[in-house]
Every structure is written in C-alpha cells, then in structure tokens.
C-alpha cells in the first residue's frame, strides 16, 4: 500500500520510487526530463469510485477535460464510458479525435463564439451549458440559421461558497460564471420562447479543489428548489447536472471519496423526490490530479545568505500552479539517499522570481538526481506554455509494466514552425 495519500499507484520499493510496476528513474533516463508520467490504473480507480457511487442510477459522467486534455488521457476515459465536458472549440476537436461522439459532449464556458456553436451543432453535441441570457439569444440565431435545434441547459450560479482558492471559485455571485440565482426563472422562460432552442436540463459548478461536503449539500438544495420553480412555470427539466470540483490530497487534505460523497448527495436527492431524474456530473481534477507526477532533474544546488536553492529543469511553464495559486505539490527524491537532508527552495530556470516549485523543502539530493513533483496530473500540462522558448515536456502513460510515450518533447523548431520573418 502506498504511503502517499491519494496516490496509491506511486510508492518506494527499496530506494526507488515506482509508478505501478516501473521505476520512475528508468523512465526519466529513457525519455528525458522534465517528464510527465501518468498511471492508467490510478485514473480508472478514481473513475470507478464515481461509477460505484452512482450504481444503477440513470447517470452520465462527463470528464472535464480542461484538467488534462492530452489525447491518450481522453482515450482512457472514452474507452471507460465517459463523456466529456468541454469549454472551447479546440477541446471539441480533441474529444472527437480521442474517439468521442458528439452525443458524448456537453459544452460549458462563458464565451462561446458563433463559430464554436456552429461546429458543435454540426457534430450533434448532447447539450450546451448556457452561461448567460445574451448567450441564449446568440445560440438561437446560430441554430436557426443552421437549421438545427440546440439542446440547452442553463448553468446556474447558486451563490454557494465552495471554501476554496478565490481563483477557482465559480459559484459565488461575484464570479463570472452562470446565470444569477434570481434571474434563473426569467432565463428559462426566455429559452423556452426562442426558436432553435430546446430546454433539456439545469447545470451548476461551484468551484474546484473542494474538500468539504457542505457546499455540495447546499448546492443540491438550491438546485432542486430551482427545478421545482422552473417546472411549476411549465418548463420540464430532464436532467440535473451538478458539475464537478471535488478536491484531491496535495498536502494532507482529506476530501471525501467520490462514492461516499455521492451516497450523501443521492440520499438528499431521493429525499426531495428527484431520485429518478437523469443525473450528470463533470469531474476533472479528481480523476487525473493524483494520477500524474512530473519528474525533473536536479541541475544545481545553490547556497544563499538566507536560503538554499535546488535548481531543477522543470519550471513554471511546466508546473504553473505554484506561481498562479501558491499551490503546494509534494516533491520527493526519485532515489532516496542516506545523506543528511538540507532545506531548499526548489526553483526552475525561468527568468522570474515567481518560478518556484516548492518553498522550504527537506531534500537529500545531488546534481544529476531526479525529483518527482507529485499530484501533477491536473492543470499542469493543460496549462503549460512556451515561456522562455521552453518546449513542452514529454508525457508517458504507464499501464502496469508498459510505458507508452503519448506526447513527444517539443523542439524549438516546432515552436517556431508557424512564425514568419518579415521580407
């Protein structure tokens, strides 16, 4: 059993850190660093908890692919029966390329363009999660001009505090997402009147990295109150989409397990008389976050007057969460040493003081060693950039004793491919 909460498919065997049946050091030597390594078994186990939670309910799980949109990751979930929650036309094309059908896809996001709407209608997506009243008007125009009917669900802003980082809170009245709670009934009445639209559901999403069941329970009550109000006005709601946002363990957090969480939510849904409704959810981070690590080589150990620096070859362009959210990722040696550990700030080569991976970490490492930045499966590669003309890292998917290279390391030539010098 792994000693790492939430990451049971990563553990030490002797002095070597393994992913499933493979030593991470072997993968680093073969594919180079920085290197993202994912455990297929971890992803399927996380998905299995949701599937157990729903049992034989009429429910559909749509993976929120903004967490990690690498094609092979999407393929794993498509083959396991997931649909996809997308937020852009690019994500639509990725989902289709990974084997999804249009009917497997729901389209969220506050700024859908007319071109994105048209393309989504062409491939027959299951539903648009509409986030504003003006979006309803535009979608109606696009659908009628294309001779199509758009299935719509209104994303409600329930004004529930998810008790998470403000940058990843999405369900408070000060956030940009969703239709304001007091405008929901009016918006549904307008949607029912507009040509080219067919109301099918209601949707919400209150935030990300939520570790407390309380906000979810509050959201269920507010959502079901709204369903009753909308249906009393004569507009049937066929599905209820409760979004995602369940957190993972980065630094000792203890979020509820997906099956335990849904046992509580379903009990409340049943008690309110909505147990036979079609249910949808959109988990992202909780499926992939603890399935991945980023392996990086130690370049230099640099002593300083007030702190010591461990300079590694991964940087904020590979691992943006610490710089963006002051997020914590555990950092572990890929091979343990008997040497006395020292306290380091672990930093990357990018020319920004914000380029740090972890502050005040106890590590026994030498230049040339590898370290593993844990819990890096979500919002790392999907947010990676080419800052400082750094190529995006390679990615490997591990399945037992097999390693599959699922993304080649990006070269400078590939980065410059579409740029032009002026004659």
**Binding-site residue positions for pyridoxal 5'-phosphate:** 245, 282-285, 379
Handedness of CA 19, 25, 28, 34 (dihedral sign): positive
CB 152 within 8 A of CB 188: no
**Residues forming beta bridges with residue 38, ordered by sequence position:** 292, 397
- Binding-site residues for substrate: 285, 321, 325, 352, 379
Tokens of 76: 């794993």
- Binding-site residues: 245, 282-285, 321, 325, 352, 379
Cα torsion through 335, 338, 343, 349, rounded to 10: -30
Cα torsion through 136, 140, 142, 143, rounded to 10: 130
- Would strands 83-86 and 59-64 be described as parallel, antiparallel, or unpaired? parallel
- Active-site annotation holder among 294, 310, 351, 380: 351
Q: How far apart are CA 166 and CA 28, in angstroms?
A: 35
Query: What size, in residues, is the chain?
Result: 423
Q: H or E element: which one contains 123?
A: helix 114-123
351 classed as catalytic: yes
CB 206 within 8 A of CB 158: yes
Q: How far apart are CA 33 and CA 378, in angstroms?
A: 18
Q: How far apart are CA 136 and CA 133, in angstroms?
A: 5
Q: List residues with catalytic annotation.
A: 351
């Amino acid at each position: 059993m792994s000693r790492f909460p939430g990451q049971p498919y990563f553990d030490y065997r002797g002095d070597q850190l393994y992913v499933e049946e493979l030593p991470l050091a072997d993968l680093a030597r073969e594919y180079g660093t920085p290197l993202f390594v994912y455990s297929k078994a971890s992803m399927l186990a996380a998905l299995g908890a949701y599937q157990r939670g729903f049992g034989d309910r009429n429910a559909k799980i749509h993976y929120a692919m903004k967490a990690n949109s690498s094609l092979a990751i999407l393929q794993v979930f498509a083959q396991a029966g997931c649909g996809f929650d997308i937020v852009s036309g690019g994500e639509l094309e990725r989902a289709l390329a990974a084997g999804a059908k249009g009917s497997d896809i729901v389209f969220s996001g506050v700024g859908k363009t007319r071109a994105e709407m048209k393309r989504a209608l062409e491939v027959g997506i299951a539903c648009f999660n509409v986030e504003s009243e003006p979006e309803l008007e535009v979608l109606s125009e696009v659908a009628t001009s294309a001779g199509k009917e758009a299935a719509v669900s209104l994303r409600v802003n329930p004004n529930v505090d998810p008790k998470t980082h403000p940058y990843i809170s999405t369900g408070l009245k000060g956030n940009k997402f969703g239709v304001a709670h007091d405008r929901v009934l009016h918006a549904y009445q307008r949607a029912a009147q507009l040509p080219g639209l067919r109301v099918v559901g209601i949707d919400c999403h209150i935030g990300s990295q939520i570790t407390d069941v309380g906000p979810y329970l509050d959201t269920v009550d507010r959502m079901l109150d709204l369903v009753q109000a909308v249906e009393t006005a004569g507009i049937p709601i066929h599905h209820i989409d409760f979004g995602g946002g369940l957190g993972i363990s980065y630094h000792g957090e203890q979020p509820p397990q997906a099956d335990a969480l849904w046992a509580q939510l379903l009990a409340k849904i049943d008690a309110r008389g909505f147990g036979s409704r079609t249910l949808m959810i959109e988990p992202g981070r909780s499926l992939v976050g603890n399935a991945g690590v980023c392996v990086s080589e130690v370049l230099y150990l640099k002593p300083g007057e007030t702190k010591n620096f461990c300079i590694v070859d991964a940087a904020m362009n590979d691992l943006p969460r610490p710089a963006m959210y002051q997020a914590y990722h555990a950092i572990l040696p890929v091979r343990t040493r008997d040497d006395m550990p020292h306290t380091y700030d672990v930093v990357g080569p990018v020319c920004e003081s914000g380029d740090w991976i972890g502050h005040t970490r106890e590590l026994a490492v030498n230049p040339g060693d590898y370290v593993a930045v844990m819990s890096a499966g979500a919002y790392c590669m999907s947010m990676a950039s080419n800052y400082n003309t750094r190529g995006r890292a390679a990615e490997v998917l591990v399945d037992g004793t097999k390693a599959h290279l699922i993304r080649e390391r990006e070269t400078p030539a590939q980065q410059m491919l579409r740029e032009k010098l002026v004659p």
